[in-house]
Amino acid sequence: MILRETHQPVTGVESAAFDVSIDNVVFGFDGHQLQVLLIRQGLPGEDMESDRFHMAVPGDLVLPQEELDEAATRILSTLTSLEGIYLKQFRAFGDPGRVADEKDQDWLRRMRPYPDRRVVTIGYYSLVAMENYRPKPSSFASRAEWCPLQDLPRLAFDHNQIVDAALLKIREDAAHHQLVYELLPEKFTLGQLQRLYEIILNRTLDKRNFRKNVKKMPCIVPLDEKQEGVLHKPAQLFTFRRSD
């Protein structure tokens, strides 16, 4: 039976209305492992260290007149001060109970105008060169910080699931030679580039074959510079040329 078929308004307004939110999974790369950007969703006046279960991926409600992509950009920059980052939508999450867990209710009741309203969230992911971005906490997000993917704590709502889904997605995308660019600093070594691919693709690569392929890519160009201060033979530095 479809309510709208009767042309009568649905009864129980609140139950029919949804909130729509955005959750951004921001991946960083420190040269060794993938990291995820988390915020501490503190309640006002609460000790920030008190409870790790309020760790969450940076997300918030979409405003009434806002496009989804715009919302994702706004929310990320508000919560983490990250600007000019390419965000890509990857999936919607709409389990009716995704926000109903006991551990999340307290926060919701204090921070959301309609804490009981069902929330459908749109997941976005993004890749960031960690060293270029040292996120500063905003007043709302009590703290933003990088966390290695391996030791993610239990996150708010269904955010662990959202991170997992985002990871699957970037694995797919990387196999197709997309992205990657965003995760590295402006100058990088071929060793770093290879480690990044190995982590994303989740397998080891042959060094010589890898370098052969890299040489064929016109967008990766060598610089007249070498690494300094490393305790081994210094590597040549490379950079990306996007306009090629």
Partner DNA sequence: ACAAAAGTGTTGGAGATACACCCATGA
Partner DNA sequence: TCATGGGTGTATCTCCAACACTTTTGT
Which residues lie near DNA (CB under 7 A)?
Answer: 189-192, 206-209, 211-213, 226, 228-236
Under rule CB under 8 A, residue 83 binds a copy of itself: no
User: Quick one: what does residue 230 bind among a copy of itself, DNA, none, with the CB cut-off 5 to 8 Å set by partner type?
Assistant: DNA
Task: Report the alpha-carbon distance of residue 228 to residue 221 in Å, rounded.
Answer: 19
- Dihedral angle at the C-alpha atoms of 205, 207, 210, 212, nearest 10 degrees? -150
Radius of gyration (C-alpha) of the chain in whole angstroms: 21
Touching a copy of itself, residues 27-66 (CB under 8 A): 44, 60-62, 64-66
Residue closer to a copy of itself, measured from CB, 12 or 218: 12
- Alpha carbons 26 and 61: distance in angstroms, whole number: 17
**Using the rule CB under 8 A, is 100 a contact of a copy of itself?**
no
Residue 35 · residue 27 · CB < 8 Å = yes
Amino acid at 41: Q
Q: Cα separation of 84 and 73, whole Å?
A: 8
Residue 144 interacting with a copy of itself (CB under 8 A): no
Q: Can residue 8 be called a binding residue for a copy of itself (CB under 8 A)?
A: yes
**The one among 32, 52, 92, 181 contacting a copy of itself by CB under 8 A:** 92
Binding residue for a copy of itself, selected from 48, 50, 132, 140, defined by CB under 8 A:
140
